Chains A and B, each alone.
Chain A
Amino acid sequence: MYEFLTSPAFYDLLKGPLVWISCIVFIGGSMYRVISLLSKAKKVRVVSVYMSLKYSLRSIFHWIIPFASTNMRKHPWFTAVAFLFHICLIVTPLTLLAHNKLWYESWQIRLWSVPERIADIMTLTVIFCVVIFILRRIITPEVRFVTFASDFAILAIVAAPFISGFLAYHQLFFDYKLMVALHILSGEIMLIAIPFTRLSHMLFFWLTRAYTGSDFGAVRHSRDY
C-alpha cells in the first residue's frame, strides 16, 4: 500500500487526470445542482412568485456578517469558531504560496498569497475548529441527538487536506511523499464531495436564505435575523 501511494505513477495520476476530474466534477456538479434546483423552484409557484432581491440580500447580509443575527449573538463562542473555520477553510487553499506557485507554473495565474507563517496559523485554525465541532457533536445533547456517522465523515473529508498538508509541509511524523499524495487525494475527494454531500450547503446556503429572507421580508413583513 505504502509503495503504491508513494509511487511516481500514482503521484502522476493524482496531479494529472484526477485534478481535472475532480475540478470538472466539482464545477459541473455544483452547476448542475444549482441549476436543477433553480429550474425546479421556478415551477413551484408558492416559492417563485414571492422571491424578492431586496429581502434575499437583506437576509444573506445578516447571516454572513458575524454577530449580525440574534442567534449568532446568543452563541458568541460558537459563532466565532464557525466564522473562523469557514474563512480559513476558503482563504487558506486560495492564498497558500505553494498552491499559487503550482498555478503559476501551470497557467501563469496566481492570486495574492499570504506569508507562510499565517498560512500555518490558518491551517491549524481549521483543524482546531474541526476538533471543536467533533467535541460539540459528542458533548452537546441536542447536537448529539441529530448526529450520525455521516456528520463525522464530512468533518473528516474537510479536515483531511489540512492535516495532510500541514504534516507534509513541515515533514512531521510521516514520509513527505506519502503525505503529499494523501494531501492531493483528500483535496480531490473534498472537491468531488461538495456537490453531492451535505457540504452542498456551500451552494444552497444562498438559495435557502434568499427564500426565507423573501418570505419573511416581502410577504410577512418581519425579520428573519
Chain B
Amino acid sequence: MIKVQRKPVADPGIEENAKKLTPEKIEKTINWVLTKEADIRLKTFVETCIHCGLCSEACHYFLSYRRDSSYAPVAKVRQTLWDMLKSKGKVDAESVKMYARIAYTECNICRRCSMYCPFGIDIAYMLNLVRRICGLLGVVPQYLQDQANSHMYTYTQAWLAQDDWVDTVQFIEDELRMDIKNARIPLDKIGAEVMYSPHSLEAKFKTNLLSNIAYILNVAGVDWTMPSFDGWDSTNQAMHVGDNETMGMVERMHFEAAMKLKVKKIMTSECGHSFRAAVYDGSRWLGWKEPPITYLQPTQFFYELIRDGKIRIAQKIKEPVTVQDPCSIVRNRGLGGMLRSIVNWTCEDFRDVNPRLEHNYCCCAGSGVINYGPPWKFIRMEGGRVKINQLKATGAKIVITPCHSCHKSIEEMIHYYKLDMRVMFISEILVQNMYVPEEMKAEKKTEKEV
C-alpha cells in the first residue's frame, strides 16, 4: 500500500463501517468482484497499460490539486486495483478505506481520461469496479449510502413517501394555475406521449423546478403524464454506491411504470446521472442493449420542441451566458450541440467554454460526489478549481446547465470562490423567455379577490 498525503475526513460511513470488516470478508469480496464479476476488460486494460501517465491531464482533480501525481487517473488505478490484484485481495481495512476514498471522492467516473489514453483504456470502468467492491463491503460515504437505502425503502432518493408525492403534485398544479389558465399535471394518463420522470428533489424542496417543467409542457401542448405510484423518481444513487442490484431494481421500476401507463417515451429531469443510469448502467444490468423505451433528456426534448416551433421564444437573455456540459449527457450522449442550439436560441451573448463539448471538465460533483454532504464539501470545492477558473474566464454572468449535480456544484463553487455569477437550468431559461399565448395566461386576481 502506498501512502499519500490527504487531509483526514471524518465520514462514519467509511471510518465506522471499516471497523466491522474482517480479512476474510475483504479477501472474498475483492476476489469475487475481480474474478467473477469483472470481465476480460479488466485483465486486458491492466496488462495493456504502459504506465505512460498521459491520462493525467485529463483529470480535473489532478489539475485542480496542482498536478499532484496521486490524483492522476492511472495513479488512482495503481493505488486501488493494482494493489488488490498484486496482493490477491489480502489487504487490511485501512487499504479498503483508502480505496473507498479514492473511488468515491476523487473520481467522478466522468470518462474524460478514457478519451486521453492512447490505448483507449476505460479507466472509469476500473474505478467503478473499486466502487462495487467498497459498496459490497459497506464502506461508502454515509450520505450516499443513506440515499441508496432510501431507494430500497421508499423507491425515491429523498425518503419521500408515495402519498407525499401525490400531495406535492396537487399543490404544484394549484399554484401553476395562478400563471397558466386551467394548467394540468396529469397523473396516470394511459397512452400519453411522454412520461416525465422527475428528480426526487423536485418533489421535496425544489418544487419550483417541477413547476417549471409543468409550465413548459402545458404551454407547448405536450401530451404528458407522470405516475402517481412508485417508480416516478428518476434518480438512482445505488448506481454510485456500486449496489448494482438496487440500481437494477430502481431502473426496472421506471420501465414498468412507463409500460403500465403505455407511454411512448420517458423524459428524465434535467439530471445527468439518472439518464446514465437508465440508458447505460441500469439497462445493461437488466440485460437490455438499449433501454426498452425511448429515453429523452430534457436537453433533447426541449431542443425538439423549439426546433418544431412548439415552444417559441419571446425575448432573449441579454446578459453574457456560458454553459457547463454535463458528462453524462455530453461526453456520454453527444447532446452538447443541442445544448448550444438552445442557448443560442434563447440568449444574445453566448460565450462558449474552453475546452468544450466532450473535452469539457467535469463539475467535480458527478457520480454521486455532490451527495456526500458536509464532510466532503471542501474536497469538492477545491477539486473544482479548474472548472470554476474555466467558467470565470468566459466572463459570463449566467452558467446554463441541464444537470442537478452540475447546477448545485457550480452554485456552491460560485459562493466559495466569491464570483458574480449564477446558474440556471434550461427550464428556468424557457419559463422566463418563452412565448405564452394570451388566452393561456391566468387572469391576475386583485389582492381583494384573492
Chain A positions near chain B (C-beta within 8 angstroms): 37, 40-41, 44, 46-47, 49-50, 59, 63, 70-71, 74-75, 78, 140-148, 151, 198, 200-201, 204-205, 207-209, 211-213, 215-216, 219-225
Please determine whether B57 and A74 come into contact, CB atoms closer than 8 angstroms: yes
Asked if B44 contacts A204 (CB within 8 A), the reply is yes
Query: Which residues from chain B contact A216 at a C-beta distance below 8 Å?
Result: 114-115
Closest CB in chain B relative to A32 CB, distance in Å: 14
The one of B118, B334, B355 in contact with A222, judged by C-beta atoms closer than 8 angstroms, is B334
B7-15, B45-53, B148-156: which lies at the interface: B45-53
**CB-based nearest A residue for B116:** A71
Are B75 and A221 interface neighbours, CB within 8 A? no
Report the separation of the CA atoms of residues A49 and B331 in the bound assembly, to the nearest whole angstrom: 20
Contact partners of A50 in chain B: CB under 8 A:
289
B39 engages A221 (CB within 8 Å): no
Known: A46-B284, A143-B53, A216-B115. A207 touches B44 (CB 8 A): yes
Residue among A200, A207, A212 facing the most chain B CB atoms (10 A cut-off): A212
Chain B residue nearest to A143 (CB atoms) is: B53
Q: Establish whether residues A71 and B118, one from each chain, have CB atoms under 8 Å apart when the complex forms.
A: yes
User: How far, in angstroms, from A207 to B70 measured CA to CA in the complex?
Assistant: 28
CB distance from B280 to the nearest CB of A (A): 8
Let me know if A47 and B115 touch, CB within 8 A. no
Closest to A49 in B: B289
Total A-B pairs in contact (CB under 8 Å)?
Answer: 121
The answer on a CB contact under 8 Å between A144 and B69 is: yes
CB neighbours of A220 from chain B (8 A): 331-334
> How many Å from the CB of B37 to the closest CB on chain A?
11
Q: Are B40 and A70 in contact (CB under 8 A)?
A: no
User: Other than the known A71-B115, A148-B51, what 4 A-B pairs have Cβ atoms closer than 8 Å?
Assistant: A146-B51, A208-B120, A212-B120, A221-B333
Q: Do residues A70 and B116 form an inter-chain contact, with CB atoms below 8 A? A: yes
| Count class of interface residues, chain B | 35 or more
Tell me if B44 and A208 are in contact (CB < 8 A).
yes
**5 A-B pairs with least C-beta separation:** A212-B120, A221-B334, A145-B69, A143-B53, A40-B40
Q: Across the interface, name the chain A residue whose C-beta is closest to B336.
A: A222
Instruction: Say if the beta carbon of B72 comes within 8 Å of chain A.
Output: yes
Cβ of A211 and Cβ of B62 under 8 Å apart?
A: no
- The answer to whether A37 touches B334, judged by C-beta atoms less than 8 angstroms apart, is no
Q: Is the CB of A209 within 8 A of B51?
A: no
CB–CB A198/B50 < 8 A: yes
Contact (Cβ within 8 A) A59 B75: no
Known: A145-B69, A220-B334. A208 touches B358 (CB 8 A): no
Instruction: For B355, list chain A residues within 8 Å (CB).
Output: 70
22 contacts between A and B (CB under 8 A): A37-B44, A70-B355, A71-B57, A78-B54, A141-B67, A142-B56, A143-B52, A145-B70, A145-B72, A151-B50, A198-B47, A200-B48, A204-B119, A205-B48, A208-B44, A208-B48, A211-B122, A219-B280, A220-B332, A221-B334, A222-B333, A225-B115
* Contact between chains at A222 and B78 (CB < 8 Å): no
The CA of A95 and the CA of B69, in the complex, are separated in Å by: 41
**For B333, what are the chain A residues with a Cβ–Cβ distance below 8 Å?**
220-222
Tell me, rounded to whole Å, the shortest Cβ–Cβ distance linking A98 to chain B.
Answer: 30
- Measured between alpha carbons, how far is A204 from B46 in the docked complex, in Å? 11
A219 contacts across to B, CB distance below 8 A? 280
Task: Tell me if B110 counts as interface (CB < 8 A to partner A).
Answer: no
- Chain A residue numbers with a CB within 8 Å of B50 are 151, 198, 201
Is A47's CB under 8 angstroms from B39's CB? Answer: yes
> Does B377 touch A at the CB level, under 8 Å?
no
The distance in angstroms between the C-alpha atoms of A50 and B75, with both chains bound, is: 29
**A47: B residues at CB distance < 8 A:** 39-41
The answer on a CB contact under 8 Å between B74 and A208 is: no
B62 touches A198 (CB 8 A): no
B58 interface residue (CB < 8 Å to A): yes
A219 to B289, CA, bound (A): 10
- B120–A59 contact, CB under 8 A? yes
Q: Which residue of chain A has the shortest Cβ distance to B120 in the bound complex?
A: A212
Asked if B359 lies at the interface with its beta carbon under 8 angstroms from chain A, I say yes
What distance in Å separates the Cβ of B331 from its nearest Cβ neighbour in chain A? 5
| CB atoms of A200 and B74 under 8 A apart | no
A211 and B41 in contact, given A146-B75, A220-B331, A221-B333 (Cβ under 8 angstroms): yes
Quick one: which of B110-128 are within 8 Å of A by CB? 114-122
Quick one: closest B residue to A133, CB to CB?
A: B52
Which chain A residues border B57 with CB–CB below 8 Å? 71, 74
B107 in the interface, Cβ–Cβ < 8 Å?
no
